[in-house]
Amino acid sequence: MFAAWGRLVHRRRGAVFVLSGLLLAASAGIAALGNPAGANQVDAGTESGRAQGLLQAELPKSRGTSFSLLFSGGPLAATDDSFRQSVLDAVAPLRTDRRVTQVRTPYEVAGRVNRAMVSADGHQAVATVALADDATTALGYYKQLRGMVHAGPLRVTATGELAFQDEVYGTVNRDLARAESITLPFSLALLLVVFASLVAASLPVSVGVLAVVGGVAGTFLLARVTDVSPYALNIVSLIGLGVAIDYSLFVVNRFREELAAGRSTPEALEVTMATTGRAIAFSGLTVAIGLSGLLFFQGIFLASMGVAGAFVVLLAVVYALTFLPALLSLLGPRVNRLRLPLPRSRGTGWAALAGWVMRHPLLALLPALGLVLLAGSPFLHIRLAQAGITTLPPAAESRQTWETVKRQFPAQERTRVWVVTQFPGSPLTAERVGALYDLDRQVRALDGVLRVDSIVDLDPALTREDYLRMYSAPVASLPPGVRSAIRSTVGHDLAVLSVLTAADPTSDQARRLVRAIRTLGLAGGQVLVTGPTAIDLDAIDFMASRTPAAVTFVVVSTLVVLFLLLGTVVLPIKAVLMNALSITASFGALVWVFQDGHLAGLLGITPAPIDPTVPVLLFCIVFGLSMDYEVLMLTRMKEERAAGASNRQAVAAGLQRCGRLITGAAAIMVLVFSAFALADVVVVKAIGLGLAVAVAVDATLVRCLIVPASMRLLGDLNWWVPGRLGRWQRKLGLAEAAPSYLR
Q: 10-19, 242-251, 346-355, 731-740: which range is least confident on average?
A: 731-740
Q: How many Å apart are CA 146 and CA 81, to the nearest integer?
A: 24
Q: How many Å apart are CA 179 and CA 238, to the nearest integer?
A: 9
Per-position DSSP letters for 680-712, written without gaps between them: SSHHHHHHHHHHHHHHHHIIIIIIIIIHHHHHH
**651-668 tens-digit pLDDT:** 888 888 777 778 877 888
Please determine, for residue 735, whether its predicted confidence score (pLDDT) is greater than 60.
Answer: no
Q: How many Å apart are CA 246 and CA 458, to the nearest integer?
A: 65
Quick check: helix, strand or coil at residue 553?
A: helix
Q: 328: part of which helix (H) or strand (E)?
A: helix 323-331
Residue range 354-368: average pLDDT?
A: 91
Please determine, for residue 174, whether its predicted confidence score (pLDDT) is greater than 90.
Answer: no
Residue range 718-742: average pLDDT?
A: 62
Between these two residues, 480 and 734, which has the higher pLDDT value?
A: 480
Q: How many Å apart are CA 390 and CA 386, to the nearest integer?
A: 10
Residue range 120-127: average pLDDT?
A: 90
Radius of gyration of the chain (CA): 31
Domains and CATH numbers, the chain: 1-33+197-336 (1.20.1640.10), 58-165 (3.30.70), 347-386+545-743 (1.20.1640.10), 397-505 (no CATH)
Q: How many Å apart are CA 227 and CA 40, to the nearest integer?
A: 8
Q: What is the 8-class DSSP label of residue 335?
A: G
**40-85 tens-digit pLDDT:** 555 657 888 888 888 888 886 666 788 999 999 888 898 898 999 9
Please determine, for residue 215, whether its predicted confidence score (pLDDT) is greater than 80.
Answer: yes
Say whether pTM exceeds 0.85. no
**428-454 tens-digit pLDDT:** 998 999 999 999 999 999 998 988 989
Q: How many Å apart are CA 146 and CA 729, to the nearest integer?
A: 63
Phi, psi (rounded to 5 degrees) for 418: -100, 120
**511-523 tens-digit pLDDT:** 999 999 999 989 8
Return the sign of the alpha-carbon dihedral for residues 548, 551, 553, 559. Answer: negative
648 burial level (CB within 10 Å; 0-12, 13-18, 19+): middle
Per-position DSSP letters for 226-286, written without gaps between them: S---TTHHHHHHHHHHHHHHHHHHHHHHHHHHHHHTT--HHHHHHHHIIIIIHHHHHHHHH
